[in-house]
Structure 1
Amino acid sequence: MQKIFVINGGQHFAHSGGAFNKTLTALDQSFFTTENGFELQVTDINQPYDPAEEVAKYVWADTIIYHFPVWWFSMPNKLKEYIDVVFTAGHRNGMYYSDGRKSATPDLHYGTGGLMQGRKYMVTTTWNAPETAFTLPGEFFNQTSVDDGVLFGFHRMNAFLSLEKIEGIHFHDLEKNVTQQQIDDYSGRYLRHLEQSFISSELSLAS
């Protein structure tokens, strides 16, 4: 059984209800079943949580999946608080031992003190920005991808734990111009991505 830990970082705030992040989490729950060869745990950052229990979920998991909307080019504040609290509790408790440096070489090997070698993570993000804002010359993000730009620090954060990245997926234009057809198309795209990342890849490795 593959052990999957899903973190729903969609936050209830102002005009945002985190609806599509709930949809993605529900798709996870329909996909990561025992019949498909998975064990699943889920955390919703809008609900109360115990830091020690969250650390245990990280240490338990083979793969951590993060879902969150991008707010002002970063994580929502409750998800950032969750990360701050849980990662601090995970120090020398299975997530990371130190920042990796030794007193004899203080300038070298920063970020190599993670304890989660062999485990993986995947991230999805949701945006009001259209995909073209990242790809067209002269548009806002200067042709810099989500992963190389806004999420660069997020990916290094997970590397600090020694987690290996599984290619994620990003969903655009989900506020100003969203339609039900778009939601349905994105949902299908996400399920195909899960199939390719978690079932087809395992069959390929086994063959």
Structure 2
Amino acid sequence: MKNVLIINGHQYYDGVAKGELTQNIIGKADEFLTKNGFEVKHTHIEKGYVIEKEADKLLWADYIIFQYPVYWMGTPWIAKKYFDEVLTQGKHYVSDGRSREDASKTYGSGGLLKGKYMLSLTYNCPKSEFENPKGFFDGLSLDEANIASHKIFQFCGLRPMQSYSVHDIFKGDMNLEEELKRLEAVLQNNFLN
């Protein structure tokens, strides 16, 4: 049996970010993974956590799904705090990777984790802003615009899977059922293919 840790990085703001979409996404992922024989554990950062237990969960996990709303072009501050606290326990990397004895070892290659991770993101901006030279993100792809989140996991040795994202969440015409079907297709690709 493979182990999956789902990290809920949502941060509540009354009126604009209550967390329902994040909960729907996590619920669908949990249902899919459980149905397909994965053992799933959860961390809901905003509800609190024990640093040492979280460090151990990351060691336990073969896969990590990090679901969060993109606030001001990055993770909510509580999610950054979570990683700052949990990843400084000395369990997830041996060093920054460099070695005085072996010049071929480069920065960021000292990770001890061997699994994979998936970013799952919710955005107010439209999808058309990515990979668009005239768009807000200056032609960057979704993954390039979220490089800091990717590098957190890669520094610890994890490999990326296909990211999932929902856009235009405040526009008012989002079809949740269709978005969850898209999520299931990404989960199928990432976990069963």
> Which TM-score applies when normalising by structure 1?
0.86
Unaligned runs of 5+ in 1: 202-207
Measured in 2, the distance between the counterparts of 1:192 and 1:103 equals 45
Counterparts of 1:150-161 in structure 2, within 5 Å, are: 150-161=145-156
Amino acid at match of 2:36: N
Measured in 2, the distance between the counterparts of 1:29 and 1:67 equals 12
Q: After the TM superposition, which of the residue ranges 128-137 and 157-166 deviates more from structure 2?
A: 128-137
Partner of 2:119: 123
Q: Partner of 1:66: helix, strand, or coil?
A: strand
Partner of 2:9: 9
Q: Partner of 1:173: helix, strand, or coil?
A: coil
Partner of 2:179: 186
How big is each residue's C-alpha offset from its partner over 1:154-205, in whole Å with a ceiling of 9 and x where there is no partner?
A: 2122111110111111111012x033x5222111110121122212x1xxxx
How big is each residue's C-alpha offset from its partner over 1:49-76, in whole Å with a ceiling of 9 and x where there is no partner?
A: 1011101110001100000011111100
Runs ≥4 residues deviating over 3 A:
103-108
Contact 2:162 2:186 in 1 (8 A): no
Partner of 1:138: 134
Q: Partner of 1:7: helix, strand, or coil?
A: strand
Amino acid at match of 2:61: A
Counterparts of 1:164-183 in structure 2, within 5 Å, are: 164-175=159-170, 177-179=171-173, 181-183=174-176
Pick from 90, 95, 98 the counterpart of residue 98 of structure 1.
95
RMSD: 1.7
Q: Partner of 2:57: helix, strand, or coil?
A: helix
Contact 1:68 1:126 in 2 (8 A): yes
Unaligned runs of 5+ in 2: none
Identity of aligned residues (%): 32
Matched residue pairs, number?
192
Amino acid at match of 1:157: I
Amino acid at match of 2:162: E
* 1:73 matched to 2:70: no
Partner of 2:30: 29
Amino acid at match of 1:65: I
> Which TM-score applies when normalising by structure 2?
0.92
How big is each residue's C-alpha offset from its partner over 1:1-35, in whole Å with a ceiling of 9 and x where there is no partner?
A: 111100011111242112211111111221121x5
Measured in 2, the distance between the counterparts of 1:86 and 1:174 equals 30
Amino acid at match of 2:152: M
